[in-house]
Amino acid sequence: GAVVSQHPSWVICKSGTSVKIECRSLDFQATTMFWYRQFPKQSLMLMATSNEGSKATYEQGVEKDKFLINHASLTLSTLTVTSAHPEDSSFYICSAGTSGGVWETQYFGPGTRLLVL
Amino acid sequence: AQSVTQLGSHVSVSEGALVLLRCNYSSSVPPYLFWYVQYPNQGLQLLLKYTSAATLVKGINGFEAEFKKSETSFHLTKPSAHMSDAAEYFCAVSATDKLIFGTGTRLQVFP
C-alpha cells in the first residue's frame, strides 16, 4: 500500500516550452502533496506544499508563476514548469501524506528527470 | 531553523560488517527525525522515524537509529550489511510542517 506514481519518468524538452508532471497517490487519499527538486549530488529541496482544493504554498526563492502547482483532487497533483530553461533541468520528486502532520510519513514518488535543451 | 548534516557522502562496507551512517541535526525545538532509503530509479522509502517516544528506534530491514540529544545525533546502524542494502540514504528533520533533508550517503556493500 501507499504507492505514489509520477508521470513521466523522463522528459526532454526544448527551451521555452512547458512541461507538466503528474503525481498520483494510487491507493490512498493524499490531503497534502509536496514537490521537491534534487540537483546532482545534492539534497532534496522542498519547492512547494499543496493541499487539495487550495493554493500551493511555495518555499522562499521558488517562482510560483514558473512552477505552477495544481492539486485538483485527493489523488492527483500536477507541477507545470512553464517556459522551461536549461537551468530548470533537474530531478523532480513528489510526495504525499494523509494529514500534513509533521510526524506523519510522506510517501514518495519515483521522480521525474527533466532535461531542457 | 532546522538542518541536518550527513557526514560522509560515501560509505563502503563488506557484506556482514557493521553499517554506520552518521546524521547530526540542528533544531531550535524538539525535532522529529527520519531516515529514508532510495534504491536506484525508485522513490524514497521510510526506514524509521523518531517522534519523541523511545530514543532507540527500530526500522525495517534490520536498521535502527538512536536519538542522542546531548550529541544532536541520529546515526543509523545495522549490525550486518547485506548486498541488498546498497542504496542512497537520507536523514531528514522536521520541526514544523516540512522535511529538511541531508545531502545523502551512498552505501556500497562489497562481497
Q: Which residue has the cell 521525474?
A: A112
User: Measured between CB atoms, does B43 come within 8 Å of chain A?
Assistant: yes
pLDDT of residue A97: 83
Distance from CA of A42 to the nearest CA of B (A): 5
> Is the Cβ–Cβ distance between A54 and A32 less than 8 Å?
no
> Is the Cβ–Cβ distance between B67 and B50 less than 8 Å?
yes
User: Measured between CB atoms, does A98 come within 8 Å of chain B?
Assistant: no
Listed in sequence order, the residues at least 6 apart from A63 whose beta carbon sits closer than 8 Å to its beta carbon are none
CB atoms A102 and B32 under 8 Å: yes
pLDDT (tens digit per residue) in B54-105: 899 999 999 999 999 999 999 999 999 999 999 999 999 986 778 889 999 9
Identify which of B77, B89, B103 has the alpha carbon closest to the alpha carbon of residue B4: B103
Residue of A44, A51, A93 to mutate, testing the B interface (most B Cβ within 10 Å of its Cβ): A44
Task: Output the CA–CA distances (angstroms, integers) from residue A40 to A44, A84, A113, in the order listed.
Answer: 10, 18, 11
C-alpha–C-alpha distance, residues B82 and A34, integer Å? 32
CB atoms B43 and A44 under 8 Å: no
Taking residues B102-109, report their average pLDDT.
95
Taking residues B10-32, report their average pLDDT.
93
pLDDT (tens digit per residue) in A66-94: 999 998 888 999 999 999 999 999 999 99
Return the C-alpha cell found at B55. Answer: 530514543
Pairing of strands B19-21, B3-5: unpaired
Q: Which residues from A are below 8 Å from B9, CB to CB?
A: 41
